[in-house]
Amino acid sequence: MARVAIILGSKSDEPLLEKAKPIAEFFLLDYAVEILSAHRSHKKLEKRIEELEKEGTEVFIGIAGLSAALPGFIASLTIKPVIGVPVSGKVSLDAILSMVQMPGGVPVAVVGLDRSDNGMILACEILALKDEKLREKLIEYKRSIE
Q: How far is CA 104 from each of CA 23, 75, 112, 120, rounded to the nearest angstrom? A: 31, 11, 21, 24
Span 43-73, pLDDT tens digits? 999 999 999 999 999 999 999 987 688 999 9
Is the pLDDT reported for residue 102 higher than 90?
Answer: no
Report the pLDDT value the prediction gives residue 90, as an integer from 0 to 100.
Answer: 63
- Residue 26 to residue 72: CA distance in whole angstroms: 28
The mean pLDDT value for 113-127 works out to: 97
Is the pLDDT reported for residue 89 higher than 80?
Answer: no
Q: What domains can you pick out in the chain, each with its CATH number?
A: 4-144 (3.40.50.1970)
- Residue 58 to residue 60: CA distance in whole angstroms: 7
Full-model pTM: 0.94
Report the pLDDT value the prediction gives residue 125, as an integer from 0 to 100.
Answer: 97
